[in-house]
């Protein structure tokens, strides 16, 4: 029986706590450019000016109507809001 060679893969570093992610309002979207859920997210961010992602998700509860989780909905609309220049997201 042949001996197995030792793996040369480096050990992965242990996961650390997620970095705080800030969502910052930049400008309003053009009229009719956003679906109602995305418009509500933008409204929350606009009211705060700058808000941590975790706080945004809490404020979305009860204001954004969906069967999905708030994290899923924010992740879905995040790229659209960034692409339109409405928000920036920083880690």
In a domain, 78, yes or no: yes
DSSP state of 31: T
pLDDT for the residue numbered 27? 95
Which is it for strands 22-25 and 50-52: parallel, antiparallel or unpaired?
Answer: antiparallel
Per-residue model confidence (pLDDT) at position 91: 80
Compute mean pLDDT per 10 residues along the chain, 91 residues long, and list them: 62 59 94 93 96 95 92 95 95 80
Residue 20 maps to a domain: no
Residue 81 lies in a domain: yes
In a domain, 39, yes or no: yes
Query: What is the residue range of 70's domain?
Result: 34-90
Residue 17 covered by a domain: no
Q: Is residue 24 part of a domain?
A: no
Q: CA 23 to CA 4: how far, in whole Å? A: 50
- Domain for residue 15, yes or no? no
Task: State the pLDDT at residue 20.
Answer: 87
Q: Are 53 and 74 in contact (CB under 8 A)?
A: yes
- Say if 4 falls within a structural domain: no
Split into its structural domains, the chain has a count of 1
**What per-residue string of b and e applies to 25-45 under the rule 16 or more CB within 10 Å gives b?**
beeebeeeebeebbbbbbbbb
């Amino acid at each position: 029986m042949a001996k197995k060679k030792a793996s040369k893969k480096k050990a992965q570093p242990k996961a650390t706590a997620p970095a705080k992610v800030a969502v910052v309002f930049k400008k309003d979207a053009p009229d009719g450019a956003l679906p109602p859920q995305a418009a509500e997210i933008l409204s929350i961010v606009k009211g705060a000016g700058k808000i941590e992602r975790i706080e945004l998700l809490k404020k979305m509860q009860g204001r954004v109507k969906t069967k999905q989780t708030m994290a899923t909905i924010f992740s879905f609309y995040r790229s659209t809001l960034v692409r339109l220049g409405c928000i920036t997201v920083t880690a």
